[in-house]
């Protein structure tokens, strides 16, 4: 396994491009199951979670071809479905596999999907997915850790979600596209990735209105067909936001290209209040911080509120603010696993249920850290970039699930960061440009 070694304390400068959005790519790849035939999807990020999705589709009987030189274009053939099943060994690695339930039921009339169970950030049940699909006529039985679903006739229905679940809305939306009649999803999630999924479904012939609002209406159609043109997945707002925070935490100036700027307002507003200059120009975002970091309280909320997927990164930033801030996590019950690791780097954080009180310190110190989930890992990388000395981040595989070419992108911004095998000991670390070329005795970053 690899680890990340970071030599912190250097302001980041330059341009970085946002990749395709993980949380749009996963449901869009799975949504191809709804329409038999050949699909072409562009801007698919090269991530472990994308590989998991393609291998799940392969297990179902739908081969894919990844364009040589990376997975920015994927071709998928969903002509035949051999097994309508998402087995435990796939779902346990990627809980988003549960979005196969709606498409498989709509396409095959039956599906067997492993229950995802809890994860590092919370219990994460799927009761709302099942409730919505039941309203459309599906019947479920749970046995042996699996949800077995059947449906003879999908029919449109009014569905009231108890909370605006993102993948739950996606599952129901996908099934509703092939239902007989009109479906209305009330209290639907409004995340931009759902808007992207709806656009993709529409390109395959679905009739959908209201995506991006809390009421989505779907007129079911008898069949969908592959989109006529390659579909381009939206850019990743969380990845883009993470690079902006990298600029902010190091007191640098970063431009993120291809950013989905319209979906990032809550983060921009918080960054401005924290003392950063943030401006946009088309799909570019420029961030600069010259002055001190001011403490800013945030509370996570469904879109368009402050995204829970940026909460951990925000905590790293606030660890260095001049004063005390409060972070309230309202979406997941256990999403502060990064706090203890940040404290090992010198952050002063008190946790009280879903609230973290962060008292800014003058400096963080590098340490060996590890994280239990993707965004927690991102937060530790950010802390490492700002910290004095060395940080080694173990369990790098979390980052590979959600950040495409993270090391190269950070290096492009001037960060001293390197990926090395776990057993390589990296000690005195000159900056890459200071190291003697070809000096084998030193592992420079």
Question: Which residues are marked as active site?
Answer: 119
Using CB under 6 A, which residues numbered 5 to 34 contact ligand EPU?
Answer: 22-23, 26
- Cβ atoms of 2 and 421 closer than 8 Å: yes
- Distance set, CA 426 to CA 1, 5, 295, 391 (Å): 15, 8, 34, 10
Rounded to an integer, what distance in angstroms lies between the CA atom of residue 389 and that of residue 403?
A: 24
What order do you get walking across the sheet with 390-394 strand by strand?
368-370, 390-394, 2-7, 416-421
- When the beta carbons of 85 and 196 are compared against ligand EPU, the nearer one is 196
Distance of CA 326 to the CA centre of its chain: 24
Query: 3-state DSSP call for residue 63?
Result: coil
Question: Is residue 142 near ligand EPU by the rule CB under 6 A?
Answer: no
Question: Is residue 338 near ligand EPU by the rule CB under 6 A?
Answer: no
Give exposure, 117-154, as e/b (b: 16+ Cβ within 10 Å).
Answer: eeeebeebebebbbbbbebbbbebeeeeebbebebeeb
- When the beta carbons of 374 and 445 are compared against ligand EPU, the nearer one is 374
Question: Is residue 309 near ligand EPU by the rule CB under 6 A?
Answer: yes
Q: Give the number of other CB atoms < 10 A from CB of residue 94.
A: 20
- When the beta carbons of 50 and 386 are compared against ligand EPU, the nearer one is 50
342 to 381: interface string for ligand EPU, x by CB under 6 A: --------------------------------xx------
- When the beta carbons of 211 and 309 are compared against ligand EPU, the nearer one is 309
What are 346's two structure tokens? 């010198």
Question: Is residue 128 near ligand EPU by the rule CB under 6 A?
Answer: yes
Question: Is residue 436 near ligand EPU by the rule CB under 6 A?
Answer: no
- When the beta carbons of 36 and 192 are compared against ligand EPU, the nearer one is 192
Question: Is residue 395 near ligand EPU by the rule CB under 6 A?
Answer: no
For residue 418, what are the β-bridge partners?
5
Total length of the chain:
445
At how many degrees (to 10) do helices 166-176 and 192-203 cross?
20
Which one of residues 117, 122, 205, 230 is an interface residue with ligand EPU (CB under 6 A)? 122
Rounded to an integer, what distance in angstroms lies between the CA atom of residue 90 and that of residue 95?
A: 8
Least distance (Å) between residue 314 CB and ligand EPU: 14
Return the range that interacts with ligand EPU (CB under 6 A); candidates 120-128, 171-179, 203-211, 359-367: 120-128
Least distance (Å) between residue 190 CB and ligand EPU: 10
DSSP H helices, 322-395, are 337-344, 374-386
Using CB under 6 A, which residues numbered 164 to 183 contact ligand EPU?
Answer: 165-168
For residue 140, what are the β-bridge partners?
149
Which one of residues 308, 377, 379, 391 is an interface residue with ligand EPU (CB under 6 A)? 308
Query: 3-state DSSP call for residue 327?
Result: strand
Least distance (Å) between residue 96 CB and ligand EPU: 4
Which one of residues 13, 75, 110, 124 is an interface residue with ligand EPU (CB under 6 A)? 124
- When the beta carbons of 399 and 410 are compared against ligand EPU, the nearer one is 399
Least distance (Å) between residue 23 CB and ligand EPU: 4
> Which letter does DSSP use for residue 155 in this model?
B
> Which letter does DSSP use for residue 119 in this model?
B
Number of residues binding to ligand EPU, judged by CB under 6 A: 25
Question: Is residue 154 near ligand EPU by the rule CB under 6 A?
Answer: no
> Which letter does DSSP use for residue 48 in this model?
H
- When the beta carbons of 136 and 253 are compared against ligand EPU, the nearer one is 136
Question: Is residue 113 near ligand EPU by the rule CB under 6 A?
Answer: no
Instruction: Name the site residues for ligand EPU (rule: CB under 6 A).
Output: 22-23, 26, 96, 122-129, 163, 165-168, 189, 308-309, 331-332, 374-375, 402
């Amino acid at each position: 396994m690899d680890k990340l070694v970071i030599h912190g304390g250097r302001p980041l400068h330059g341009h970085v491009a946002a990749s395709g959005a993980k949380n749009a790519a996963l449901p869009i790849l799975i949504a191809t199951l709804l329409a038999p035939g050949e699909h072409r999807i562009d801007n698919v990020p090269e991530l472990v979670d994308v590989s998991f999705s393609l291998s799940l589709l392969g297990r179902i009987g739908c081969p894919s071809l990844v364009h040589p030189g990376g997975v920015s274009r994927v071709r998928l053939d969903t002509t035949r479905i051999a097994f309508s099943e998402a087995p435990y060994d796939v779902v346990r690695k990627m809980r988003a596999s549960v979005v196969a339930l709606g498409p498989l039921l709509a396409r095959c009339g039956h599906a067997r999907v492993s229950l995802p169970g809890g994860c590092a950030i919370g219990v994460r049940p799927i009761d709302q997915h099942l409730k919505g699909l039941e309203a459309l006529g599906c019947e479920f039985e749970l046995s042996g850790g699996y949800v077995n679903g059947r449906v003879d006739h999908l029919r449109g229905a009014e569905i009231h979600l108890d909370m605006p679940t993102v993948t739950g809305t996606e599952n129901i939306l996908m099934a509703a596209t092939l239902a007989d009649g009109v479906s209305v999803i009330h209290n639907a999630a409004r995340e931009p990735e759902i808007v992207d999924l709806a656009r993709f479904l529409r390109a395959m012939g679905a009739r959908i209105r209201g995506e991006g609002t809390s009421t989505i209406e779907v007129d079911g159609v008898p069949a969908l067909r592959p989109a006529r043109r390659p579909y381009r997945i939206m850019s990743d707002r969380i990845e883009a936001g993470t690079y902006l925070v990298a600029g902010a935490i190091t007191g640098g100036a970063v431009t993120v290209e291809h950013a989905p700027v319209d979906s990032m307002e809550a983060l921009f507003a918080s960054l401005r209040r924290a003392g950063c200059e943030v401006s946009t120009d088309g799909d570019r975002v420029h961030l600069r911080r010259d002055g001190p970091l001011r403490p800013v309280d945030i509370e996570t909320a469904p879109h368009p509120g402050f995204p829970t997927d940026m909460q951990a990164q925000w905590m790293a930033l606030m660890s260095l603010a001049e004063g005390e801030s409060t972070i309230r996590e309202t979406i997941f019950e256990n999403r502060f696993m990064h706090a203890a690791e940040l404290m090992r780097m010198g952050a002063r954080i008190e946790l009280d249920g879903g609230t973290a009180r962060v008292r800014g310190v003058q400096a963080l110190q590098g340490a060996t850290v590890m994280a239990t989930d993707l965004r927690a890992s991102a937060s530790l990388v950010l802390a490492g970039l700002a910290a004095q000395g060395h940080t080694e981040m173990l369990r790098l595989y979390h980052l590979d699930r959600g950040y495409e070419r993270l090391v190269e992108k950070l290096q492009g911004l001037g960060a001293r960061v390197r990926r090395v095998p776990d057993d390589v000991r990296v000690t005195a670390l000159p900056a890459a440009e200071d190291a003697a070329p070809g000096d084998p005795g030193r592992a420079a970053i």
